[in-house]
Amino acid sequence: MSKLKAKLHEKIEGWRPRTTKLLKEHGDVKVGEVTISQVIGGMRGVKCLTTDISYLDPFEGIRFRGYTIPETLERLPKVPGCEMPYVEGHVYLLLTGEIPTEEDVADVAEEFRKRRKVPQYVFDLLRALPRDTHPMTMFSAAVVAMQRESEFVKAYNAGVSKMDYWEPTYEDMLNLLAKMPEIAAYIFRMKYRSDTIIPADPDMDFGGNFAHMMGIPKPYDEVSRLYFILHSDHESGNVSAHTGHLIASALSDMYYSVSGLINGLAGPLHGLANQEVLRWIQGVMERMGGKIPSEEEMKQFVWDTLNSGQVVPGFGHAVLRKTDPRYQAQREYCLKYLPDDSIFKYVDLLYKVVPPILQELGKAKNPWPNVDAQSGVIQWYYGVKEYDFYTVLFAVGRTIGVASNIVWDRALGYPIERPKSLTTAMLEEIAGIK
Ligand code: HAX
């Protein structure tokens, strides 16, 4: 071990007990408006962000502009002959707060059509990366590479007034969002389908065109629409949304912000959990030789995971205190279209087995499944078995919500974010530790 690393190791070991003591024995001591456990503990529950685009109730789940998931799916205009709404309509809803008419949806679709063409250098960049690069890294790199296209930067350099910041920000949102399905599908086909790229079909809607470029027949278009809508927003405190908002607060443009949100989403405690769920289940399946485990066997796998110090992916949430309605919406889809699928059966068995175990363990505040527990099953069923791609789908959806927020951030003139930090010694002093 290098001298520097050894020194650091020694420092960390010495520091940790201080943090633990502060949290355990003085967590409720007030520091201004908040407590020591909130200062150290990832700001859980601190009310210090504002958004009107979605709200997450711990027991009810997400509402998009006031609408629950079933209400959103029911009220938005549907693609003809399909059960799922236009993603374009959801973009309209999140940006404006109003349910769009068919005409409004056609308008958004036309906006996307005009802005769809991905610059060639993005594909060249993707090709220059080692082929085993994680698809989230590829996606993030592709997005940030397009930063030179930013309308906000052009307007800012030309001296645009603060009051008008939102307009070029809105242009950046639509320009970027219009290209994301094609970039995502390109990464998929280049990496996992022998580099056989399928060109976009400009006459198709956002979700339909994505399914077409992925090369997956119906009803994958329905899955894509459902997926992008469900993953779009989860108020502002989650890592991807907060990262996007934070970066944009420095007036970094949409491309920097979205690339950043993708990086945050790529963590296994956040969006990457959907990949981890499938990886975990594959491990169980291998050990079971492909047969569905009994309840007892499944319990043992869960305990083995917990006892080895890992989390059970797809369960728990920082805010939710019930089964995630995004999980429920996808479960309903599975019950309708793939009730006999073996991986769905595994996931359903987990739904039965994991919550009581997490409750028994008594650490997790929410023992119930989150969105990521169910999403990979559907992808796998339709042939997307390369589970490290799943979070890219999440990222396309999440950009809709975060970008809408960023447009509103600029419209309402929210300032640069700058919370205040304290030293451990200061916290100890506040807690009265000698
Ligand atoms: N398995 C095992 N332990 C878990 C757990 C799980 N699924 N969920 C929570 N815990 C543990 C935490 O690790 C923590 O342990 P320590 O005190 O030892 O650190 C303790 O229970 C308390 O955690 P919490 O307050 O209930 O939850 P947090 O707000 O700290 O974390 C997480 C929320 C989602 C990160 C957490 O539940 C987790 O790690 N879940 C598994 C990963 C996952 O599914 N992530 C996706 C969440 C949804 C999402 O953002 N999607 O993008």
CA of 315 to the centre of ligand 1 (A): 7
Atom of ligand 1 nearest to the CA of 41: 30
Nearest-CA residue for ligand 1 atom 41 is 313
pLDDT at 12: 84
Q: Is 270 a catalytic residue?
A: yes
Cα Dmax for the chain: 71
pLDDT at 77: 98
Q: Where are the domains positioned within the chain?
A: 273-381
Nearest-CA residue for ligand 1 atom 12 is 364
CA distance 231 to 78: 18
Q: What's the pTM?
A: 0.94
Grade residue 57 by pLDDT with cuts at 50, 70 and 90.
Answer: very high
The 10s digit of each residue's pLDDT in 343-352 is: 999 999 999 9
The 10s digit of each residue's pLDDT in 91-120 is: 999 999 999 999 999 999 999 999 999 999
Residue of 276, 311, 360, 366 best suited for mutating to test ligand 1, as the one with most atoms within 8 Å of CB: 311
Cβ neighbors of 143 (< 8 A, separation 6 or more) are 176, 180, 183, 255, 258, 259, 262
Grade residue 15 by pLDDT with cuts at 50, 70 and 90.
Answer: confident
Mean pLDDT of 308-325: 96
Mean pLDDT for the chain overall: 95
* Residue 11: pLDDT over 90: no
pLDDT at 289: 87
CATH topology of domain 273-381: Cytochrome p450-Terp; domain 2 (1.10.230)
* Residue 272: pLDDT over 80: yes
* Residue 5: pLDDT over 80: no
User: Is residue 212 a contact partner of residue 201, using CB atoms and an 8 Å limit?
Assistant: yes
Q: Is 317 a catalytic residue?
A: yes
Cβ neighbors of 398 (< 8 A, separation 6 or more) are 231, 232, 233, 240, 241, 261, 265, 271
Task: Considering the candidates 270, 348, 388, 409, report the single residue annotated as catalytic.
Answer: 270
Cβ neighbors of 217 (< 8 A, separation 6 or more) are 211
Structure tokens at 19: 């943090």
Q: Can you point out the beta strands (E) in 36-146?
A: 54-57, 61-64
pLDDT at 290: 78
